[in-house]
Each structure stands twice: as structure tokens, then as C-alpha cells.
Structure 1
């Protein structure tokens, strides 16, 4: 049965009487648990997540001047469907044909959507960082505005190598997301010549027989290392780790110095203006997910501008071509990699209130594009698009 669609609203950069309509769709899940608070037993909620659609909305508002010049109305249709209904909703969303469908979906919904895609579909992932969507589970119709786990870990590994912090203690949780990110960290460490001196798994437990799994001094002692690379997706363990290690060592990863697509304190390349606009628009700071929603729409806008119209085939061809050049507000322009659909982009390395470095760092070179030092390169990719 076709799932009943819940259409929230549509944003128009121009009146509907404009010559052409550039239609985009945002697809998400109603009451998505990913965006629900996850209070701890004390009532604290460590993850305050917002749907990235607000970034897309602001990009649509920014499109007004371009729209007037081209005679194009940029239209964002926001659609939320019940759990399990994303793939069934596609048939109704394909007419009139959207230039792109922005996917803010959990893994099972994304897998179902990709399984029912047709040739005219073009999806932009604005949420999921998992490497397998850029690898074994990639699809010709799937682009990624949000960086992969490997891009993030590569950026951090570059910084550790540049700082001379080459002996790394890897500390991660047992959750599926932690294990996947730990795998990316190991790959990045090998790629950039770091020495992973040990790998340990923490566990939040009050069982005295397993105290070695939750005792921070025990978990970080007994091995010589320069830095602790922490992976804790939930955050309940990791928030206590800085300043609690056995030896006085920096903590990076989920706490301390963290790799991310965007940061509210970034002070270069027009970023302050973008952050100020978003803060005024959404009444909060711009997150990496907000930036992904924003840049996904910007990429479509730039493709429409390059084509000079809204022909879906021409726009989609431009989106996936090397000729696309999107201003990322991060110092360089980006486009989507032909081998896995990933948006080339710098990665910010930041604390809670400052950007410390921007990767790729100086000295890490590539024969074609230094941005391709971050993430799976063409020869490393498992994607068979």
C-alpha cells in the first residue's frame, strides 16, 4: 500500500508564474527515533539532533537572486512518511520529476529506496556517513553531501601525523557505529603511517568483574602512546575521558579534537557570514548536518545555473560531472566524485568552540586533487557504479 505522505511545506524562491520550476524533494521519516532525545538515567540528553532540512530551506531562500536572473522558481517539497514507507512514497514523488531527492533516512529505509529506484531518480544523502554506501552498497543514482567516516578519520590521521603524534591508542565502544568508525580509524592510521599501538573496547557497566572495561585509567594505561583516539557515538563514556587518562595525553575523535563537515566558529572563507545567516534563519548554530542540507541544494542550484534551465536530464548530468564547481565556504570549490558519488570537501578539525585546522593539510599531496587524500580514492573504492 502506498504510504500516506505528510507534506510539511514547500519553499519558493520565486512565484509559481516563473518560466521554469526547479523542484527538489526532502524525504524523511515521521517521528524518526534518530531525532528524538536520548535521555540518560539522570535526565541528561547528550545528542541534540535537528533535521538537516533547515539548511536546505536556507539555501532555497538564498536562491532568490539566481532564480530571478534565470527565470526559475526553486521549490523544495518536504515529505515525511511513516516508518517503512519511504520506498512506497517514491512513485508519488516522481511526478513532476524532481531534480534531486534529498535523503534523510535511517539505513533500512535508504536500502529500500535504492532497491526501488528507477533510471530518472537522483538521490543526495544528507545524513548517513557509513562507508558502505560509498562502497559495496553504492548506487549510480546516489550522491553524498555528508562526508564519510573514512573522510573524517583521514582528516584526523593527517593532523596526528603532522603533529608527530604517531603512537595512537584506539579506544572505542561496542556499538555498531563505534565498530564501523574504529575500522575507518585503523584504515586511516595505516594510510598515513600512524602506529596503532593498541586497541581497547570500553563498556559502561557497574559489574565489578568487568571494571577494566569502564575504568579510564586502566583503559588508557600500560602502553606507551602519544594520543588517545576515542570513538564513542553515544557520548556517555567519552565525555569523562579528557583529563582522566592514565598519562597526560590529548584525546581526539569523539571528544577533544573532532573532525566534522562544519563548525559554528569557523572564521574563514565567508563562513562567518554563512553561520550568521543560518543563526538568524533557524535561531541556532549551524551543524554539519545543516551544512549538508544547505550544500546539497547549492549543488543543484549551481547545476541549474550552468545548464541555464531546469531540464532534469541536463541538470543531473551536470551534477555528476567534473565541471560542477560548488562554493563550499571552506576555501575551495567542490564536486562529486565519479567513482562513489561523494562530495569532495575539506574537513574541519575542531574543539567545542574553535576550529584548529582544516584538512587536507599542507604536505599531503595527490596526483590529481588534494581533496582526494580524504576518503576512498578511485583505486581504493569498492564501489562498482
Structure 2
């Protein structure tokens, strides 16, 4: 009887085809200007650690389905050719997760070797990549800058904070964030008030209590002070040093982010703990972008039982795909520009304050499309 039962179980078990998936994580080093604080050193394996955790997550499910996952990686030092490294990676696998500036991402996506590949942008928030500079083979698992600033704008509307001066840095990333912020405020019926540019090069660790009150004295009364400091250079010295005691939001204070250690709801603490155990540090937004890319790929492989890039891309962009991303809602890709829809946590350093999209901001398709470029706004045509 026992032999008969075992034979029956074997006949009833599905016959899974063996699928082997290799993902390559490509880092292109970029020159970062010095900042006035060394409190936030850049982890050596930023992004790559998130990819490693996702590979293990995929493998856990894959063991039962005859699927194996492997991760390889390479780094392009400053001054070397990213295209050469990308070609080498594409010779190994057609699945790349990339940490690189926007212009490098589009150059890699345009390589002849990349035309049949699936490339994931895991770290670059530039809005143009989801707009006129989109590429059909490039999907985005990191939120765009516009998604983050739209989330913050929704919160400002909810609070009825509409008198909003801004202090902006002069680095291109600061200016890009400022442009996105201005667009978001306009989108939701607000506007930026007085603008002041931060041009100090003194050590604010010593001078903030003297310089910042004088710098902000002429702003008058207002509801909240916005800060565009994507490098983390000066914003931390604005808090509690302004002439008027008001909230600070934007790049510092109350921030809209991809991911933060204070996100613990919706089972997120499980991901946080797995990551900290594996990497020995807290999960950063770049880690989350890489994790989401490889988990999305793993979900597509599991659901389609295929490893063909064309079939997987079609599934990723279809209505059938969903990714459980520990953010409170299923996450899906926008079929018109390859952006992964996802909630945006609004946080301060010690707690989650809100999770955008906020209640009351409606959309005919999904409230997640109130964050970032909506289909009628996007100039992306590569996905048509």
C-alpha cells in the first residue's frame, strides 16, 4: 500500500522544467562632490546587497519549482567605459540590474547587444528616463523623483500648508529635485514661495546656529520650509535653526522616500530583518530598488515557467503581474513607460508618517498613478 501511495503521489506531482536564471548587477561609479558631514558613508555594496537578498528570496521558491538563480556583478571604475562592461555582462546573461547615471543607462539600453535584454534601473530617479528618454528594454524599479515629490505634495495639501518657501542647493541633483517639486506643487494646486540658494561652503557643524537664523530671517511667516538638498549636504543644519519655528520638508526633515528603516507595516519588518542579517546594515533605497527588480523577475519566471526575456517582459507589463513589495499595495509596472507603480512612504528619521497615495487623491485606473508621470503626461513612445 505504501508503494502504491508513493507511486500515486509521484504521478500527481507536476513535472517542472529546469530553469536557470543568472542576473548581473552592474555598478557604474560616479563622482560625488564632498559633503559637509561624514555621518552617512556610502556602503560598499549599496544596491548589490539588496540584489543578493532578492536572489535568495527567489531561490527559496525556485527550489520547489526546478528554478535556480545566480547573481554575478561587476563595477566600472571612474573613467572607464561602461559600454564595454555592459557588453561583457550581456554576453553572460540578458538580465541586468544597473546602478548608473541616466545618460549611462540610455547608452547601455541602446547597445545592439541589449535589444533582446531586460534591463532594470534600480537607482536612478531622473524623470526623463520615464518620459522622452525612455527605452523599451529599460524598466524602473526605483521610483522617479516626480513620484517622491508628488507624494510630498499630497501630504502638504492634506495639511493645508500652502505658504512654502524653499532653500535649494546648486548641485544638478538638487536642481532636478527642485524642478520636480515645483511641478508637483503645481499639479496639486500649490506653488513655491520665496526661493533662496544655498551657496555656503563653511563648516556648518560649527556655524549653523549663527548662520541659518540670519539666512532664513527674511522668509517671514510661512507654513513649512522646503529643502532641495539631494546630496545631504546642508539640509540637516536647517532643522531647528530657522528664524521661525516651522516644519522642514523635502530632502530633509519630513521626506518622501523609496524605503526607510522605519517602514515596518505590511510585513516589511520581515524584509528589514532578512536584509540586516545578510548585509549587517539597514536597507537603503538603492537596495530596495535592486531587490524589487530581481523579485519582479523571479515572480515573472515563476508565473510563466519561462526564462525567455520577451515572454518575461510581456508578462511584467501585463495586468496579470503583481509584486508584493511590503508597502501596503500590490505593485505593477506601467505599460507605457516601464515604471514600477508603488506606494511612497513619507517619513521622518524615527517613524512612518504617511503612505502615499493619500486618501482622497483619486485616479480612474489606480490611485498609484497619482504619483509620477501619468500616461497622458508622459512623452514616452518606446512602449507603444
Q: Give TM class, smaller chain.
A: 0.7 to 0.9
CA distance in 1, matches of 2:121, 2:304: 23
Contact 2:24 2:96 in 1 (8 A): yes
Query: Structure 1: 5+ residue runs without aligned partners?
Result: 1-17, 207-213
| Larger helix share, 1 or 2 | 2
- The equivalent position to 2:130 in structure 1, one of 124, 131, 134, is 134
1:286 aligns with 2:283: yes
Partner-residue secondary structure (3-state), 2:64: helix
Contact 1:155 1:359 in 2 (8 A): yes
1:119-198, aligned counterparts within 5 Å?
A: 119-198=115-194
Partner-residue secondary structure (3-state), 2:306: coil
Label 1:220 to 1:334 Cα distance change in 2 as closer, same or farther (>3 A).
farther
CA distance in 2, matches of 1:85, 1:146: 24
Q: 1:79: how far off?
A: 2.0
Label 1:197 to 1:104 Cα distance change in 2 as closer, same or farther (>3 A).
same
Question: Is the deviation greater in 250-259 or in 197-206?
Answer: 197-206
Partner of 2:222: 225
Partner of 2:108: 113
Partner-residue secondary structure (3-state), 1:168: coil
CA distance in 1, matches of 2:76, 2:30: 13
Partner-residue secondary structure (3-state), 2:192: strand
Label 1:218 to 1:86 Cα distance change in 2 as closer, same or farther (>3 A).
closer
Q: Deviations over 1:132-174 (max 9, x none)?
A: 1111211111111111110000000000110111221122111
Label 1:57 to 1:220 Cα distance change in 2 as closer, same or farther (>3 A).
farther
Label 1:197 to 1:96 Cα distance change in 2 as closer, same or farther (>3 A).
closer
Q: 1:332: how far off?
A: 0.7
1:283-362, aligned counterparts within 5 Å?
A: 283-362=280-359
Q: Which has the larger radius of gyration?
A: 2
Query: Structure 2: 5+ residue runs without aligned partners?
Result: 1-16, 203-210
CA distance in 2, matches of 1:217, 1:370: 42
How many residues align? The count is 356
Contact 1:124 1:296 in 2 (8 A): yes
Partner of 2:48: 53
Contact 1:39 1:45 in 2 (8 A): no
Partner of 2:19: 20
Label 1:136 to 1:71 Cα distance change in 2 as closer, same or farther (>3 A).
same
Q: 1:215: how far off?
A: 4.5
Partner of 1:265: 262
Q: Deviations over 1:321-344 (max 9, x none)?
A: 232100011111111111221110
Label 1:69 to 1:238 Cα distance change in 2 as closer, same or farther (>3 A).
same
Contact 1:26 1:102 in 2 (8 A): yes
When the two structures are superposed, what TM-score results if normalisation uses the length of structure 2? Answer: 0.87
CA distance in 2, matches of 1:93, 1:287: 25
Q: 1:97: how far off?
A: 4.0
Contact 2:165 2:219 in 1 (8 A): no
Label 1:108 to 1:47 Cα distance change in 2 as closer, same or farther (>3 A).
farther
Partner-residue secondary structure (3-state), 1:70: coil
CA distance in 1, matches of 2:337, 2:191: 29
Contact 1:148 1:375 in 2 (8 A): yes
- What is the CA RMSD across the aligned residues, in angstroms? 2.1
Question: Is the deviation greater in 227-236 or in 339-348?
Answer: 227-236
Contact 1:38 1:45 in 2 (8 A): no
Partner of 1:103: 98
CA distance in 2, matches of 1:39, 1:380: 35
- The equivalent position to 2:64 in structure 1, one of 69, 76, 93, is 69
Contact 1:262 1:288 in 2 (8 A): yes
Q: 1:46: how far off?
A: 4.1
